[in-house]
Structure 1
Amino acid sequence: MDDDGPDARAVLAQVHELRQVELAASAALLQQAARWADLHPAPEPSLAATYTERGKDSGKCLGGDGVPGVALDCVAELGAALGMSTTAGERLIGHALELRHRLPRLWSLVHEGRVAAWQARQVAERTLALSRDAAAFVDAQVAGVAGRIGHAQLERLVSAAVLRHMPEEAERRRLDAADRRCFQVEHDATGERHGLSDVFGRLDLPDALALDAAVAEGAHALGLLGSTDSLDARRARAVGDLARRQPALDLLTTEADQPGGGATVGRAAERVVLCVHLSAVALGRRHDGWGRVENTGTPVTAGQVRDWCGRPDARVTVKPVIDLTTDEAVEGYRIPAWMREAVALRDRTCVFPWCSRPAHPYQGGRRRDEEDEERGWSCDTDHIVAFAAGGPTSTDNLAPLCRTHHRLKTFAGWRYRVTGTRTYLWTSPHGWRYARTPDGGTTALDPPPPGRSLDGPGRAANGPPAVSRISPRSRPRRPRRDLASVTSSRGRSEAPPPF
Structure 2
Amino acid sequence: MTALLDATDTQLAMLADLVASLEAAEATLSSMQAARDGMLAMAGRLAVDIARAGAHPDHGDMAIRTVAAEIGAAQHVSDRTIERRMAEASWLVERFPTVWQAQGDGRITAAHARVIVEAGAHLDDDTDRAAYAAEVIELAVHESPNRLRRMARRIAERFQERSITERHRDARELRRVWVKDLDDGMAELGARGPAVLLHGMFDRLSQMAHAVQEENARAARDAAATLPTDDRTVDQLRADLLADLVLTGTPAGHETEEGLLGEIRARIEVTVPVLTLMDDDAPTTTTTPPAELDGTIPIDLATARTMAGSATGWDRVLTHPISGALLAVDRYRPSEQLRRHLRARDQRCRFPGCGIAARKCDLDHTHAASTGGATSDTNLSAFCRRHHMLKHHSPWNVDQRPGGVLKWTSPTGRTYIDRPPLQNTVTFTAADPAPVPF
In the superposition, the TM-score normalised over structure 2's length comes to: 0.34
Which of the pair has more CA radius of gyration? 2
The structure with more helix, counted as a fraction of residues: 2
In the superposition, the TM-score normalised over structure 1's length comes to: 0.31
- Bigger relative contact order, structure 1 or 2 (CA pairs below 8 A, ≥6 apart): 1
